[in-house]
Chains A and B, each alone.
Chain A
Amino acid sequence: MEPSEVEFLGEKKMVSIVPHFSSGIIHLISGPVGPFRANLPVKVPIWLALNLKQQQKCRILAQDWMDTENLNELIEKEKGEKLFTEMPSDHFMDEAQMLLTAGADDIPDVDNIRTAVKDIWDLRNAKLRSSVIAFVKNQGSTYAKLDHLTAMEINSIRSLLPETLNVMLQIEESGKSSTSTESQQFSSTLDTTHSQNQS
């Protein structure tokens, strides 16, 4: 999956905006939004917030978790735990990226928030890399639990990990079948071992 598609999914998350216009409830296919009253905060999907912001029809409010103190706590927690900690959103990284870019002039302390988000991403990425390596080396199985990994993180290992496990499983399966027919010295290729196994 393309990172932009992960972002596409993340754009469904809700965010508060302060509209500069008034309008009744808008009945979208994905559900109603509004009513909009100028200067009164209202929750809308991120894609809509970005669109309105582009037309300068609203101000974007930071998500509850976009606050340096809160983020620094998350960093400490992430450092202290061996496993992954739960993020405030499963589209943590892409939400931050979209809202902080589009709402740079609306959200206070935007630079510090961005740095903290980046720190969390780096920390988790290092953790992710080392745990993937440990998992692949462990060889016990090709199954793993991935709790608290966010969509972007899962997508970042999608190109490598599943394929690695596919190949490992294939090698192990063919290894198993060839050891059971070790006595048959003339079976040179895997295909022939297979057919002899079956017969």
Chain B
Amino acid sequence: MDVSNDSNGLDNSAFENGGLNDAEAEFESDEEELTSDKALQVLESAWLNEKFAPELLPHQQLLVECMVQQIKHMEENVQRLTKGDIRINIHTMEICRIRFIISSYLRKRLDKIEEFAVHLLKEDARRSPDEKYMTTAEAQFARDYLTNIEKLFETVALQHMPQRCANFDLDAISMEPNLKKHVFARANKDIPTILISGVHEMEVSFAKGSQHIIQYSAIAHLVKDGSVQLI
């Protein structure tokens, strides 16, 4: 219960500004064919991938919205049940479990956005609108975060400094994710060749269902296209 309650604000704030553009609306018609249990599975794997990947993964705004909608429907249905119905308890519990996944997922993304704000904004500026990794709301969050940091530096220290070192340099606080971090992964299908570059250059293959520990950089593209699940 606690988890879902304090996350409510988070959910809303991440979606307020996220108006659907044409490309996304088109995509949504595909999305509707997804059954709710399938959507939940996809959300859950997105949650785990986001949790373990060192970099920010492309956003799943539609999926999250779809799930929030499902929860809303379910809550309305539950309201209509008569008191004492055994289903009330069961549905409420499931809703709490899904809320937990959604808020943990969004919170993890915000953590990464704070950490890599400068880098992410720069990267997303190069991408076309429907390829951006951050949602509109997340990008706004990143910009606000940087503005606030700058303001903090300014009021606390910079304004008291001599002129020549009173400049705020965004690049100086820019951090990039370390893509060579090691992650645990499970293959969702057979993958004949994966190239690990670097000091120990080698080629490996993943059989469907097999588990591995490997540099994230070698499988980053496979995580994004869904062939590999981080665990």
Contact = CB atoms under 8 A, between A and B. Distances in A.
A49 B36 CA distance: 21
Nearest to B104: A5
Interface in B88-108: 89-91, 93-95, 97-98, 100
A30 B37 contact: yes
Contacts of A158: 184
Interface in B36-90: 36-37, 40, 51, 70-71, 74, 86-87, 89-90
B183 A141 contact: no
Interface residues of A, number: 37
The 10 closest A-B pairs by CB, nearest first: A162-B182, A141-B200, A31-B37, A146-B211, A165-B182, A172-B199, A29-B36, A143-B214, A30-B37, A144-B213
Interface of B: 36-37, 40, 51, 70-71, 74, 86-87, 89-91, 93-95, 97-98, 100, 178, 180-184, 196, 198-200, 202, 204, 210-215, 231
A178 B201 CA distance: 18
Given A51-B89, A161-B182, A1 B213 contact: no
B211 A149 contact: yes
A143 B200 contact: yes
B94 A28 contact: yes
Given A28-B94, A51-B93, A166-B178, A147 B51 contact: no
A141 B198 CA distance: 10
A161 B182 CA distance: 9
Given A141-B196, A141-B202, A146 B213 contact: yes
B200 A173 contact: no
A83 interface: no
Specify the main secondary structure of chain A where it touches its partner: mixed
Interface in A79-123: none
Tell me which of A30, A170, A173 has the highest count of chain B C-beta atoms within 10 A of its own C-beta: A30
A142 B211 contact: no
Nearest to B214: A143
B87 A143 contact: no
16 contacts: A1-B51, A26-B91, A28-B91, A28-B94, A47-B97, A51-B93, A144-B213, A146-B211, A147-B211, A148-B211, A162-B182, A162-B213, A166-B181, A169-B180, A169-B182, A173-B199
B213 A173 contact: no
Contacts of A162: 181-184, 213
